[in-house]
Amino acid sequence: MGIYKIAMDKCDGSPYCPVVRVCEAQAVEPTQVVSEAGLGFSMKYQINRNVCLGCGKCALVCPRQAVYPEG
């Protein structure tokens, strides 16, 4: 199994994100990224590749189809 990644342009950083809750490995972590306009920061999620088990559950529940398998 490979690991999964989150497309930053699709992630809305919702505090109710089901991707965070479904991950049994707690691999989904919040991160600050520069906003698209280059002004300030916005909250997104990323997957810690050192923790991800590659189970793929996160990709099934993301309402924005932001999660995809790497490679």
Nearer to ligand SF4, 42 or 54 (CB): 54
* Residues contributing to the site for ligand SF4 (CB under 6 A): 4, 22-23, 25, 27-28, 47, 52-58
Question: Does residue 53 contact residue 1 with C-beta atoms inside 8 Å?
Answer: yes
Query: What's the min distance (Å) between Cβ of 49 and ligand SF4?
Result: 9
Nearer to ligand SF4, 1 or 39 (CB): 1
Close Cβ partners of 55 (under 8 Å, ≥ 6 residues apart): 1, 24, 25
Nearer to ligand SF4, 36 or 47 (CB): 47
Reading the block at residue 51, the tokens are 């923790």
